[in-house]
Structure 1
């Protein structure tokens, strides 16, 4: 397995001869509206362009996987991503909850089965969904919470894509029980003008890394205007707490090779 970080939560999983695009936000820099209105900046999104390798990586894509997409969450599926998926008719794997929404937009939808508590077949292996908590309190009531995916395939490392979530007891317990070789976690500490964090920030990522025996991959960084955490912030905190050797904080365009045996980068 290899994992390519494109931008924000958009990654590509290279698993054998399959190349799975996750949560495509493909807009040019500044093409989408701001997510904070009272900060004096009103910075448009995304705040950075796609990396130069994006075109070549997208040409490899065979499938797409969506964690959440309704209620205006354009940083996981924007109009440019929808057009790309519609034009290419790439098979889009999603939950039954999102299937009708995506079909209405002309996408080639392949919803997973319904038994998510125990996992459902995916290719030669299995996928299990894990509920996300995309913020709590008043803000949380307006969010589309979505799911994370725990993916196991024969001969490949186990992978938990957390989706957009804070570190809840349910997420922490799932990691402790299953101990994935790799966890891909949202690390930007996103928040709106009011309310608390709606995804993990530095403290949550460090705690996740302490709980996990494998490698944590931090993304959702430095691409969206309501995510204040920087890569430098996170790496400095990881070094200070002694977990940096099990935390990968990729730059946009970087690819990581993943080892099935011990969850250490090849």
Structure 2
């Protein structure tokens, strides 16, 4: 696909993994969690499960988040990516992309009538959307059958359009071969990483990316702009934005890694 970069991309970080991406004249809302602070109990069996979620308020009214959105993308149906508030507020007829038929059936049962399955090179109003792989934890976690069911399947998304920068939303994944394959295949200009270092009780490894993965991403794609999100909002995240900002300064990659505040708009 021709990807000469003439049209800017606007990315607004909302909170946690929720992001609005204005891309080729379309506005996509990815992984909407729109509840007020403290609406839900902490995730059982995770780090700091006594804290209620989300731990911080939205930076704007939820109605403003969904304003002018053309399509919604739900990478997976965990509460911190697709919550009750989003289900109540979003128009039931809005185009919505899910990772597979299982998630699509869940979302249709919630009343949504235009639920589509994301696959390889799905086109929406001139934007090419491609589902990418990932793993929401380590192989050892997935070897425990009950835990594997809880962690479930996840996806990332690549956005492409002629004349626009290629954007890769990695989603809730640890770094694995599927991430390497996506970088090699698409050579993204912008990479959005969920770097909150989310922890389960009894395991030393994270179920998403961590600060070291920001350095890994820069080394794997040195020309890309890396946007680090999924911090400070959910009980089980062990890495804060403040800590990550210190880390990228120490590693000398602060010019390539952006750690946006809630509500911040980036034009790339």
Deviation at 1:28, TM superposition (A): 0.6
Normalising by the residue count of structure 1, what TM-score does the alignment of the two structures yield? Answer: 0.87
Which residue of 1 is the match for residue 184 of structure 2?
A: 176
**Root-mean-square deviation (Å):** 1.9
Quote the Cα distance in structure 1 between the aligned partners of 2:163 and 2:178: 27
Gaps of 5+ in 1: 259-266
Partner of 1:264: none
Partner in structure 1 of residue 153 of structure 2? 145
Structure 2 counterparts to residues 239-254 of structure 1, below 5 A: 239-254=249-264
In structure 1, the residue matched to 2:33 is: 25
Matched with 2:130 is 128
For residue 245 of structure 1, give the secondary structure of its aligned residue in structure 2: coil
CA distance in structure 2 between the partners assigned to 1:178 and 1:227 by the alignment: 29
Moved over 4 A (4+): 36-41
Secondary structure of the corresponding residue to residue 27 of structure 1: coil
Where does residue 95 of structure 2 map in the other structure?
91
For 1:5, what is the secondary structure of its paired residue? strand
For residue 36 of structure 1, report the CA deviation from its aligned partner.
Answer: 4.9
Q: Tell me whether 94-103 or 177-186 shows the greater mean CA deviation.
A: 94-103
Report the secondary structure of 1:4's partner residue.
strand
Query: What residue number does 1:200 align with?
Result: 209
Q: Which has the higher contact order (CA 8 A, sep 6+)?
A: 2
Shift of 1:126: 1.7
Aligned residue pairs total: 251
Following the alignment from structure 1 to structure 2, what is the Cα–Cα distance between the partners of residues 247 and 30?
30
**Distance of aligned partners of 1:52 and 1:120 in 2 relative to their CA distance in 1, 3 Å threshold:** closer
Q: CA deviation at 1:152?
A: 0.2
CA shift digits 1:48-92 (9 cap, x unpaired): 0000365434222221111111xxx1000011111112x453221
Partner Cα separation in structure 1 for residue 215 and residue 48 of structure 2: 30
- Paired with 2:63 and 2:87, the residues of 1 have a C-alpha distance of 16
What are the equivalent positions in structure 2 for 1:154-165 lying under 5 Å apart? 154-165=162-173
Question: Is the contact between residue 35 and residue 192 of structure 1 (CA under 8 Å) also seen in structure 2?
Answer: no
SS of residue paired to 1:108? coil
CA distance in 1, matches of 2:206, 2:187: 25
The aligned counterpart of 1:105 is 110
SS of residue matched to 2:231:
coil
Q: Please, which of 17, 36, 58 is the counterpart of residue 50 of structure 1?
A: 58
Indicate the residue corresponding to 2:234 in structure 1: 224
Q: List aligned pairs for 1:111-122, cutoff 5 A.
A: 111-112=116-117, 114=119, 116=120, 119-122=121-124
